[in-house]
Amino acid sequence: MAGALALVPALSLAPLTAVADAWQSRDDWAALFQEHDAEGALLVVDERQDSRATWVHNAARAEQRFVPASTFKVPHTLFVLDAGVAEDEFQVFAWDGIDRGVPAWNADQNLRSAMRNSTVWLYQRFARELGEESERRYLEAIGFGNAEIGADLENFWLEPGHLEISAEEQIDFLQRLHRNELPFDEADQRLVKDLMIVETGRDWMLRAKTGWSGELGWWVGWVEWPSGPVFFALNMDTPNRMDDIPKRDAIVRAALRDMEALP
């Protein structure tokens, strides 16, 4: 592998979020979770110039690690770009013809469509091409969660018992990506951020990624404003499976709107 991490040692970085005892609890967010009949955690780090603070619902859970599911596509995309497994967002990866039950997956993909559609089969192919040694080296180099792969190369980010990360650690990673401070080419970091764009307004931009393991849902990302970014990481249980999926978006958007961090 001739990428930027070939000579980079494992990192041990202190989280950029405020220390947990400085987090401010939001009682109204507890009501928001109750309103949606959801159990989970929400951590928000507001870095806007006039409103710097770290807000949390369920602080203990915000420090607890869970399987990242498809939120791992964000760092994983950096890995494949760095290793040359994917050249750019235009390279087309042929569908193998296997129907996996998600219509959007049943087609050729590029990085942009795979990020938008959370196309699992393509990232499983990337994992095979990267290999266990490279995956582990990348994970350790960026300090992503527990950096554990286990014995299942194609599913270590999808199933509990392997790679796990907390809401706090998710935000730490996103802060470094936002500032182009990860040990990758700046062009690759900018490309991945471009792939994460969900919504834009006149003076703001939402970059985010969902994740779902079947039992746990994530939504992580940040809203960019001229005065600074607002980072968020939500995880929640999904006992009703697909019926619970819309709650991620609804809870985060309501919380951010209350903070005037999202229109």
* DSSP classification of residue 86: S
For residue 224, being part of any structural domain is answered with yes
Check: CB of residue 199 under 8 Å from CB of residue 206: yes
Tell me what pLDDT residue 129 has: 98
pLDDT at 2 over 80: no
Rounded Cα distance, 201 and 263, in Å:
9
What does DSSP say about strands 24-25 and 53-57: parallel, antiparallel, or unpaired?
Answer: parallel
For residue 5, being part of any structural domain is answered with no
pLDDT band per the 50, 70, 90 thresholds, residue 153: very high
Q: Which residue has the tokens 């980072």?
A: 231
Q: Which residue has the tokens 């609804």?
A: 250
For residue 59, being part of any structural domain is answered with yes
Mark 213-231 as b/e (b = at least 16 C-beta within 10 Å): beebbbbbbbbbbeebbbb
CATH number for the domain harbouring residue 29: 3.40.710.10
What are the DSSP calls for 1-41, one per residue? --STTTTPPPP-PPPSSPPGGG-EE-HHHHHHHHHTT--EE
pLDDT band per the 50, 70, 90 thresholds, residue 10: very low
Residues involved in catalysis: 70
Closest to 188 measured CA to CA, from 88, 111, 101, 103: 88
Q: Tell me the average pLDDT of the chain.
A: 93
> Two tokens at 104?
């959007």
What is the tens place of the pLDDT at every residue in 80-121? Answer: 999 999 999 999 999 999 999 999 999 999 999 999 999 999
Number of structural domains (the chain) is: 1
For residue 7, being part of any structural domain is answered with no
Q: pTM to 2 decimals?
A: 0.93
pLDDT at 6 over 60: no
What is the tens place of the pLDDT at every residue in 18-61? Answer: 456 689 999 999 999 999 999 999 999 999 998 899 999 999 99
Tell me what pLDDT residue 30 has: 96
Backbone φ and ψ of 170, nearest 5°:
-60, -45
| For range 211-215, the mean pLDDT | 97
What is the tens place of the pLDDT at every residue in 168-184? Answer: 999 999 999 999 999 99
* DSSP classification of residue 93: B
Tell me what pLDDT residue 61 has: 98
Rounded Cα distance, 230 and 261, in Å:
7
> Two tokens at 232?
């968020």
For residue 141, being part of any structural domain is answered with yes
Tell me what pLDDT residue 7 has: 39
For residue 9, being part of any structural domain is answered with no
Residue-number span of the structural domain to which 39 is assigned? 20-258
pLDDT at 1 over 50: no
For residue 6, being part of any structural domain is answered with no
For residue 35, being part of any structural domain is answered with yes
